[in-house]
Amino acid sequence: MESILIFILGLALGFGAALLMQKISRAQAKDTFRALSAEALRANNDQFLDLAKNVLAREQEGVRHDLEKRTQHMTDVLKPFQEKLDKLDTHNREMEKLRAGAYEGLREHLSSLVQVQQQLRQETTQLKQALRRPEGRGRWGEMQLRRVMEMAGMMEHCDFIEQVSETGDNSRLRPDVVVKIPGGRQIVIDCKTPLDALLDIAETDEALAQNRERHAAALREHIKKLSAKTYWQQFEMTPDFVVLFMPGEHFLSVALQQQPELFDFAFESRVILATPLNLIALLRTVERAWRQERQAEHARVIARLGKELFETLHVFTDHFRKVGEALGRSVKSYNEAVGTFESRALTRARKLGEYGIQMEKEMDVLEPLEIVTRPLSLPASEGEEDEAELPCISRKGAG
């Protein structure tokens, strides 16, 4: 009986000890599970954040590298664009200088026109001895013609040619000057004026009327010979007349006093009688035509540069659009990582809270990014509007 009591007592003590051990094990298991869950959640959260940061860092590095390459490429593309702008600015400055110089030159030429007649009258008496020799008369006539052309702005190296000769049917034709005009045309000028009778007028007062008539007759005969040379047939793109330059106003006035119809006779013979004053007016007209031709050429250059500028802007817009697309891909990858974090990791973390697991620190909320595009409008080559959307990155929900 005593043995039975001892057995029952031992059994009761063992059962109590087992219950006590089971209770202690459950508490330890709960604490262990709670610690392991918190540690796993922390590790999972840290691993996910590291993964998201690594993905974003790789994407940002790729975008930065691509952006650097495209920035360098855009710099290379914009370099000729800057050069063309410099050329355009240079042309504008040149045109402004030409315009200012033209106004100043016009005032100077008008002032010179007033002085031409007085200078020619003063020099007439000094030339009397030199004009007795044929070579002296020829050089003086050419010198006067050159002065007139310089006053008109017709410089030798660009606007006129001296001592050009062509071979005709029976003789060698040698005009004094061939003036070039825009369009490839040219005007022939001859300055071989007969002066023998006029020099006799200055010396012989008794035969004044007779010598004046002889001067007019010699001029008429020279007009016939000059017309017979038909310079307009020998030189291409030449008007059907030749200009006879008389280096003094009085050389023509004396002849017209004796033969008033001489001017009409010369015109019918396709010879234009010109003195310094009216020849300057003619050459000034030609010089203005050359100036307008230069301005037209500048306008064509500006139009070409403007077209090249327009084409460069289109290339620039295309490259800038590609930069925006690269930024868009980077933002898309970042948003996908944020979505994965919210839909998987954050959801599981919240479920742990339902089992009594409390986090010591709240996890940071990762907000997605959005792309707000702005249109960049440029006129298309056909005259239409071509809009290129440029991305502007901002936080979602930002104002």
Q: Is 161 helix (H, G, I), strand (E, B) or coil?
A: strand
Sequential DSSP letters for 296-314: HHHHHHHHHHHHHHHHHHH
Q: What pLDDT digit, counting tens, does each position of 156-177 carry?
A: 534 455 554 444 444 455 667 8
Tell me the pTM: 0.45
326 exposure class (CB count in 10 Å sphere: 0-12, 13-18, 19+): middle
pLDDT higher than threshold 70 for residue 4 = no
Q: What is the mean pLDDT of residues 321-349?
A: 78
Q: Residues 170-188: what's their mean pLDDT?
A: 73
For the domain covering 128-274, report its CATH number. Answer: 3.40.1350
**What pLDDT was estimated at residue 171?**
47
Greater pLDDT, 24 or 294: 294
Q: Give bridge partners of residue 370 from the DSSP assignment.
A: 394
Identify the pLDDT of residue 161: 53
Give the per-residue pLDDT at 221.
92
% of the chain beyond a pLDDT of 90 = 5
Please state the φ and ψ torsions of residue 235, each to the nearest 5 degrees.
-110, 130
Q: pLDDT tens across 43-94, in order?
A: 767 777 777 778 778 878 887 888 888 888 878 877 887 888 888 888 888 8
More confident residue, 23 or 394: 23
The crossing angle, in degrees rounded to 10, of helices 276-340 and 134-151 is 40
Any idea where the domains of the chain sit in the sequence? 128-274
d(CA 294, CA 33): 94
**263 contacts 219 by C-beta, under 8 angstroms:** no
Q: Which of 375, 366, 365, 369 is nearest to 397 (CA)?
A: 369
Q: What is the pLDDT of residue 205?
A: 66
CA atoms of 67 and 322, how far apart (whole Å): 10
- In this structure, what are the phi and psi dihedrals at residue 269, rounded to the nearest 5 degrees? -85, 10
Task: Quote the tokens at residue 36.
Answer: 């392991």
Interatomic CA distance for residues 234 and 166, integer angstroms: 7
- What is the pLDDT averaged over residues 117-134? 67
21 CB-side CA count, 13 A: 6
Mean per-residue pLDDT, 121-132: 66
Q: What is the pLDDT of residue 399?
A: 37
Mean pLDDT over 109-117 rounds to 73
Q: Which residues contact 273 (CB under 8 A, 6 or more apart)?
A: 244, 246, 252, 262, 263, 266
- Residue 139: is its pLDDT beyond 80? no
Question: How would residue 10 be classed by pLDDT, with cut points 50, 70 and 90?
Answer: low
Rg (the chain; Cα; Å): 51
Instruction: Please give the Cα distance from 277 to 360 (Å, whole number).
Output: 107
pLDDT in tens, 189-214: 888 888 777 776 555 566 677 888 88
The number of residues making up the chain comes to 399
Q: What distance in Å separates the CA atoms of residue 326 and residue 228, rounded to the nearest whole number? A: 81
Per residue in 222-239, pLDDT (tens digit) is 999 988 888 878 777 778
Average pLDDT over residues 148-152: 84
Backbone angles phi, psi at 145, to 5 degrees: -65, -40
Using alpha carbons only, give the angle 138, 210, 145 rounded to the nearest 5 degrees: 20
pLDDT for residue 124 is more than 70: no
Mean pLDDT of the chain: 75
Q: What's the confidence (pLDDT) of residue 220? A: 92
